[in-house]
A = this chain, B = another copy of it.
Amino acid sequence: MSRGSLPQFDPGDRPAGERLPEATVSRLPVYLRVLAGMAERGVVTVSSDQLAAGAGVNSAKLRKDLSHLGSYGIRGVGYDVDYLIYQVSRALGLTQDWPVVIVGAGNLGRALANYGGFVTRGFRIAALLDSDPAIVGSRIGRVAVRHSDELEDLIVRHKVAIGVIATPGGAAQAVCDRLVAAGVTSILNFAPVVLNVAEGVDVRKVDLSIELQILAFHAQRRSAERNGPPSEDELRTVSEGAGLPSVPGGASRLSTAAAVPSAAEA
């Protein structure tokens, strides 16, 4: 790297060929969001401490994350907000436009199509699809609902690489298969099922029910800590009162289903 006069642009700043750790990739969008807010408020320079506080992470972690992109800070000063926005965007691949298809124009699909954050970051809804003839042709915001028969054609014509599945669980795998067959390699799945895909296809899952269950676990742990661990007596009372299932093979095996919370999908 040259000293003295700084180069206009030095690709060598970025560690060549080094891959970003997954944990870093998942935090970069958060940094980007905080940086965007700062840029809007006219902030020119930000220190790792400030940016880390805004993103809710440790400043050492933030510096480590950014160091994977290259050396874009200035010692004793901090980071230039605009420049860092650009570098983070570039690292994430957001300097290009990403056409996206959304499959499913139910409540969720409509919410997604109306979501402004979509367009603001290089994503563009190429199509919103549904199989219900009653809503095909209607408009959700700026987007017209197309029939899902057109899926393959639209993907090819618009060079869509990212698909969003917002269908009921039962339809998700079939939709996924069609997306992949048509050339989509990145899928965001809102349906409450585990999708099977071939090697090389990237699936991310957003699942309200799973998030709530994780929250419930922590809430339960906190309340257990507040009340202290249950005594032997409490455990016995609870296990009898609630009709806990026996271990497998025990006499009451078949009668336990009712005591188990229904875990059927909707």
Q: How far is the CA of A110 from the CA of B19 in the complex (A)?
A: 40
Residue among B6, B20, B100, B114 making CB contact with A247, cutoff 8 Å: B6
Residue among B54, B83, B185, B212 making CB contact with A123, cutoff 8 Å: B212
Interface residues of A in 95-136 (CB under 8 A from B): 95-96, 98, 100, 106-108, 110-112, 114-123
* Chain B neighbourhood of A264, CB < 8 A: 36, 40, 120
Interface residues of A in 186-202 (CB under 8 A from B): 186-188, 192-194, 196, 200, 202
* Chain B neighbourhood of A92, CB < 8 A: 213-214, 216-217, 220
Q: A138: CB under 8 A from chain B?
A: no
How many of chain A's residues touch chain B, expressed as a range?
35 or more
Q: A253: CB under 8 A from chain B?
A: yes
Q: Are B121 and A192 in contact (CB under 8 A)?
A: no
Query: How many copies altogether?
Result: 2
Q: A76: CB under 8 A from chain B?
A: no
* Chain B neighbourhood of A115, CB < 8 A: 107-108, 208-209, 266
Give chain A's interface residues, CB within 8 Å of chain B.
6-11, 17, 19-20, 25-26, 28-30, 32-37, 39-40, 54-56, 72, 74, 80, 82-83, 85-86, 89, 91-96, 98, 100, 106-108, 110-112, 114-123, 161-162, 185-188, 192-194, 196, 200, 202, 204, 206-223, 229, 235, 239, 242, 244-250, 252-253, 256-257, 259-266
Q: Are B30 and A256 in contact (CB under 8 A)?
A: no
Residue of B nearest to A244 (CB): B9
Q: Are B235 and A11 in contact (CB under 8 A)?
A: yes
26 cross-chain CB contacts under 8 A: A8-B250, A8-B252, A20-B217, A25-B218, A33-B193, A33-B209, A33-B210, A36-B264, A82-B253, A82-B257, A82-B260, A83-B247, A83-B248, A85-B260, A89-B260, A92-B220, A98-B216, A112-B208, A117-B192, A118-B212, A119-B266, A121-B263, A122-B261, A123-B209, A123-B212, A186-B216
Q: Are A9 and B98 in contact (CB under 8 A)?
A: no
* Chain B neighbourhood of A192, CB < 8 A: 33, 117
Q: Are A162 and B208 in contact (CB under 8 A)?
A: no
Residue among B107, B223, B262 making CB contact with A107, cutoff 8 Å: B107
CB distance from A152 to the nearest CB of B (A): 19
* Chain B neighbourhood of A36, CB < 8 A: 263-265
